[in-house]
Amino acid sequence: MASNSWQFAGDGDESDDDNFNPAPADMSDDENNDKDEEHNHNHRPAGKTVRQASSPVPDEEEEEEEEHDEEEDARPAKRSRRDHHDDEDEEQDEEENEEIDEEEEEEEEEEEDEEDEDDVHGGNRRKRRNKDRRAAFFDIEAEVDDEDEGEDEVGDGEEIEDFIDNAHPDDIADSGRLNDDRRHRELDRRREMEASLDAEKQAEILRERYGKRAPARGYGDMAIVPRRLLLPSVEDPSIWAVRCKEGKEREVIFSIMRRIEERMGTKNEVPITAAFERGGVNSVMKGYIYVEAQRQNDILVALDGILNVYPRSNMHLVEIKDMPDLLRVIKTPNLEPGAWVRLKKPAKHAGDLAQVIDVTENGLEARVRFIPRLDYGVRDDPVFQADGKRKRPGVPGPRPPQRLFSEAEARKRHPRYLQGNPQTNSWNYNGDDFENGFQVKDIKIQQLEVKNVNPSLEEVTKFASGAEDGTENLDLKALAATLKDSAKSVAYVPGDIIEVYEGEQQGVIGKATNVQGDIVTLQVTEGDLAGRTIDVPNKGLRKRFRIGDHVKVIGGSRFRDEVGMVVKIVDDRVTLLTDQTNTEITVFSKDLREASDIGGQGSLGQYSLLDLVQLDATTVGCIVKVDRESVVVLDQNGDTKQVQPSQITNKLPKRKFAVAADRNGSEIRLDDVVREYGGQQRQGKIIHIHRSYIFLHTTTTNENAGVFVTRANSVTTVAAKGGRNTATAGPDLSAMNPALKRNPAANGKQMAAPRTFGPDRAINQTVVIRRGGHKGLLGIVKDTTDTHARVELHSKGKIITIPKADLSFKDKITGKTIDINQRGGSRGGFGGGGGGRGGGEFGSRTPMASGGSDRTPAWGSSRSTARTPAWNRDAGGSRTPAWNDGSRTVNAYDGSRTPYGGATAYGGIGSRTPAWHSGSRTPAPDGFGHGSKTPAWSAGSDSWGSKTPGYGASAPTPGASGDAWGYTPGASGGGNSSSAYDAPTPGGGLSAPTPGPYSAPTPAAVSAPTPGAWQGGWGSGDAVSAPTPGALGAPTPAAYYSAPTPAAYGGVAETPGGPGYADDD
């Protein structure tokens, strides 16, 4: 560097086109300060010219002196300078002389230069003194400009700040005294002069002299220097990488240091500015030393003869941009006791996890403990050497498994090699030390894998469980420190809130927007930099959470996958309350991530929390905790045990309809809330019922996830789900109206009754089997039970038993699918001919049509009175009316029922049963639950009402009327009114619309006779069969007749007729 500045100085002079020689000595002292040069020019010229004028000899001397210094300049520069001097004769002569001198002196001066380089100050001073000393041989007393010279000195001192000593007047006096008393006199003079000045001026001078000192020191000492300005540039010495013997780097550097010291101050000082090495076992820079010097040749000189370094082989010039990297500090992994490492060296243990117990002072070795792999000489045993050859000791066989040291084993095999102390449980076996079952060994740090250890939980637990007292002594902190070192475990994802806790950007908080390799781009959210985007290495980062954040544990922690809310944060340790178990866990913030709101970790494979699982034939359990690799199960005896999924036999599906009896004999089901009768009186909701055990879940405790088990007969019901449900909730409006819903069942039951009559019509029918193994086969039913039929198969001549439901009845001749009941109906039906014709095909429409409100009036008038008798009476109802209606209605509904109608008293009712039942039930006790319907019904004016009573009315009415013939008077009470309502009901209600769609006459026929029946009393009853078919002829008017009948009650009656027809059209 120094030489560079000299170069500068020279250049500066040239450009100035200065007549005067620069003052190289001064310049060399000073680190390139143009201002200084100017000062020099101010002072020097005077002195020099005077000197030149006064005496050439000293001048010559001085020139020469200066030349020495100048020697360091590049020669051309000097020449050019000389050219400038050409016009001055005197000087020219001198220069020529000099030229000769220079040639001679060049070599030795080079040495001096080097010295200068090393110690510029010293060198300069020495020369100064030399000059003075030499001056003593000349008669410089005669000089007039002593003062100038002195001034000069002082000036130098002033300007060249490094020359503190020189700068001080006392110093000057001091150095002067060494030579002669001239200085004394000079000093006296100066003091006189200074004394003569007034104080203010003096202060001015002093300030001028000393004031500038600090600022002029150069940026090297400034408090803050931008780093980039400190980077090397082309003007700085270059660095060469020199090959050396691997592992000897440090040695070489020490040799160089010694050499520098030795040669310091001698002619051949070591011409380099710096040398260093970056060796080390793992270093990529091993095998090289780095030497900084101006020229490559200097290095050859400096390293000549030093052992283990090969400057002559190949030397690489380090590029300037790479220079800073040479000195980059790589943090050596710091091994702390308790940290986890992996062994590299004892081949038997390669890759094994070990824990650092201690690190030696020099940091070269660590005492570690690990789980030994001992075979206690089993494989050395001659028994096992089948071929009788001695095994070569160097060849490792399959290495024994990791097992804690067993004293007993060792004693059994090699009692001789075993010594130790049972008290401390430390042993020495075969030269190895064992403590508490672990092998303890000093291992060189190079032979340890310190980074990316990533101990797995299993490995670590082996160490933990090995503790003497059996307690878990996991050092979470050490574990974390180890894990933290592993680079891959830290993963930031865009969106993470991150805090910089280390390095220049410490304290910055931001949101990660981009992650690329090790660089995380942060959008700063807080502080002065808010809004800015900065890139930071992920080294000194940690995730930042706030209390209440919902987070998920990721990464290496054993709590992985737990989800919870943050309740406490200390540094980078975050305590959270888990969602699953409501317990608190503490993990490192790096292992956390903002959780989505869906809780995780409820399941392991097919098993999830609160599942009931079978552990063995007699044991079941409820899963109360799900870990990463195991689950905790609370079994029926109340014990919890940790099991692997593989130990679970199977999962018991939840039996929704499982029922148990509590101690009072009440039925309890899933989701009922029960309380223990005795004991702790715990209360909980039943989640599983298994035989006599019930598993309950409560929120009041989080022990076993709130699950406990008890016997069903030791609990009492607190709130049964079913009971609560009916109490609070109305009907489920998204499901079938419950009132209607019960019908099918009731219907079926109702219909079952007729079956008991007569032989089963299925017998002797031709059937096809619809499902099962015999599917598709044709056969004849030979015999039946209620549910099954014995079918003789055509194909096999064999009789098999098949559920009736699986049979499809076929017409013997046509093969068409038929309904045997219908056939039976038509066959058995008395007036079936008409019925069949009238309603057979269109019967199905009847109910729809009957939905019409024509019955409404009837109903409205009849109200429940009409129905009630009907209802009660129907069973015993006379057949006649039943027939009446039966023949019609049945068709309308379902021809198949007709036969029953015809055959029994049921008939009338049965045929209408569906409608009737629904009607009767609707308002009936179980009710709709909706008031809306009830009034509707009673009002008889809306569709609900109309329908309901319609059904009810139609059925009972005839029935009632049938009965009523013996009865009506009573029922009708009101005479006119009763007949009135009775009349329309069958006529207008059911019959009229029913055939309506089909053909006008039918209803007419029906309706006509019906009223007739009413009015005519028995006669009509007898005529039942006649009117139906016969009616065809003159129906229409009859229909009108029927209409007016209800009309008596109001306009309503017409309404039905109207819509009925309208619909039909």
Partner 1 sequence: MFFLHNLERRVTLHPSYFGRNMHELVTTKLVKDVEGTCAGDYYIIAIMDAFDVSEGRILPGNGLAEFTVKYRAVVWRPFKGEVVDAIVFSINPHGFFCQAGPLSIFVSSHLMPEEIHFDPNATPPQFTNNADMVIEPGTHVRVKIGGLRTELGEMYAIGSINGDFLGCLQA
Chain-centre distance for alpha carbon 448: 33
Taking CB under 8 A as the criterion, the residue among 514, 725, 943, 1036 binding partner 1 is 943
Q: Is 548 in the site for partner 1 (CB under 8 A)?
A: yes
Q: Is 497 in the site for partner 1 (CB under 8 A)?
A: no
Minimum CB–partner distance for residue 733 and partner 1 (Å): 4
Residue with Cβ nearer partner 1 (566 or 866): 566
Residue with Cβ nearer partner 1 (175 or 701): 701
**Cβ count within 10 A of residue 251:** 18
Neighbour order of strands in the sheet with 584-588: 584-588, 573-578, 563-570, 550-553, 592-594
- Say which amino acid occupies 467: A
Taking CB under 8 A as the criterion, the residue among 733, 745, 748, 814 binding partner 1 is 733
Q: What is the rounded distance in angstroms from the CA atom of residue 22 to the CA atom of residue 492? A: 63
Residue with Cβ nearer partner 1 (362 or 699): 699
User: Locate tokens 């650092």: which residue?
Assistant: 356
- How many residues interact with partner 1 (rule CB under 8 A)? 38
Q: Is 939 in the site for partner 1 (CB under 8 A)?
A: no
Binding mask 741-760 for partner 1 (x = CB under 8 A): x-------------------
Binding positions for partner 1, 681-700, rule CB under 8 A: 699-700
Q: Is 944 in the site for partner 1 (CB under 8 A)?
A: yes
Mode of pairing for the β-strands spanning 667-669 and 673-676: unpaired
Q: What is the rounded distance in angstroms from the CA atom of residue 207 to the CA atom of residue 211? A: 5
Residue with Cβ nearer partner 1 (61 or 572): 572
**Close Cβ partners of 204 (under 8 Å, ≥ 6 residues apart):** none
Taking CB under 8 A as the criterion, the residue among 144, 197, 547, 805 binding partner 1 is 547
Q: Is 568 in the site for partner 1 (CB under 8 A)?
A: yes
Taking CB under 8 A as the criterion, the residue among 933, 962, 1001, 1056 binding partner 1 is 933
Q: Which two tokens stand for residue 245?
A: 């013997």
Q: Is 608 in the site for partner 1 (CB under 8 A)?
A: no
Stretch that binds partner 1, among 351-359, 835-843, 938-946, 1051-1059 (CB under 8 A): 938-946
Q: Is 718 in the site for partner 1 (CB under 8 A)?
A: no
Q: What is the rounded distance in angstroms from the CA atom of residue 159 to the CA atom of residue 30? A: 8
Residue with Cβ nearer partner 1 (312 or 741): 741
- The separation between the first and the last C-alpha atoms of the chain, rounded to the nearest angstrom, is 117
**Close Cβ partners of 310 (under 8 Å, ≥ 6 residues apart):** 242, 243, 244
Integer angstrom CA distances of residue 1018 from 809, 851, 1014, 1028 = 40, 29, 8, 16
Mode of pairing for the β-strands spanning 432-435 and 573-578: unpaired
Residue with Cβ nearer partner 1 (626 or 936): 936
Q: Taking every pair of C-alpha atoms in the chain, what is the biggest distance, in angstroms?
A: 180
Q: Is 196 in the site for partner 1 (CB under 8 A)?
A: no
Minimum CB–partner distance for residue 409 and partner 1 (Å): 44
Neighbour order of strands in the sheet with 288-293: 272-277, 288-293, 238-244, 309-318
Minimum CB–partner distance for residue 945 and partner 1 (Å): 10
**Close Cβ partners of 828 (under 8 Å, ≥ 6 residues apart):** 898, 899, 902, 903
Taking CB under 8 A as the criterion, the residue among 597, 679, 748, 925 binding partner 1 is 597
**Cβ count within 10 A of residue 488:** 8
SS3 996: helix
Q: Which two tokens stand for residue 68?
A: 């020495």
Residue with Cβ nearer partner 1 (452 or 725): 725
Minimum CB–partner distance for residue 735 and partner 1 (Å): 6
Minimum CB–partner distance for residue 351 and partner 1 (Å): 40
Binding mask 901-930 for partner 1 (x = CB under 8 A): -----------------------------x
Residue with Cβ nearer partner 1 (447 or 583): 583
Minimum CB–partner distance for residue 736 and partner 1 (Å): 5
Q: Sign of torsion, CA 227 231 233 235?
A: positive
Binding mask 981-1020 for partner 1 (x = CB under 8 A): ----------------------------------------
Give the residue ranges of DSSP H helices in 486-554: none
Minimum CB–partner distance for residue 399 and partner 1 (Å): 45
Instruction: Give the length of the chain.
Output: 1065
Taking CB under 8 A as the criterion, the residue among 264, 364, 740, 805 binding partner 1 is 740
Q: What is the rounded distance in angstroms from the CA atom of residue 557 to the CA atom of residue 575? A: 13
Taking CB under 8 A as the criterion, the residue among 666, 737, 865, 868 binding partner 1 is 737
Binding mask 502-541 for partner 1 (x = CB under 8 A): ----------------------------------------
Chain-centre distance for alpha carbon 395: 47
Minimum CB–partner distance for residue 949 and partner 1 (Å): 15
Taking CB under 8 A as the criterion, the residue among 2, 315, 565, 780 binding partner 1 is 565
Q: Is 566 in the site for partner 1 (CB under 8 A)?
A: yes
Binding positions for partner 1, 573-592, rule CB under 8 A: 575, 577, 579, 582-584
Q: Is 599 in the site for partner 1 (CB under 8 A)?
A: yes
Q: Is 725 in the site for partner 1 (CB under 8 A)?
A: no
Q: Are the C-beta atoms of 804 and 789 separated by less than 8 Å?
A: yes
Q: What is the rounded distance in angstroms from the CA atom of residue 248 to the CA atom of residue 208? A: 54
Q: What is the rounded distance in angstroms from the CA atom of residue 220 to the CA atom of residue 225? A: 8
**Close Cβ partners of 38 (under 8 Å, ≥ 6 residues apart):** none
User: At how many degrees (to 10) do helices 832-839 and 820-828 cross?
Assistant: 130
Taking CB under 8 A as the criterion, the residue among 386, 735, 745, 813 binding partner 1 is 735
Residue with Cβ nearer partner 1 (563 or 903): 563
Taking CB under 8 A as the criterion, the residue among 196, 362, 734, 756 binding partner 1 is 734
SS3 204: helix
Q: Are the C-beta atoms of 671 and 721 separated by less than 8 Å?
A: yes
Q: Which two tokens stand for residue 475?
A: 């050092």
Q: Is 736 in the site for partner 1 (CB under 8 A)?
A: yes
Residue with Cβ nearer partner 1 (178 or 547): 547
Q: Are the C-beta atoms of 506 and 542 separated by less than 8 Å?
A: no
Enumerate binding residues for partner 1 (CB under 8 A): 547-550, 565-568, 575, 577, 579, 582-584, 597-599, 699-702, 729-730, 732-737, 740-741, 930, 932-933, 936, 942-944
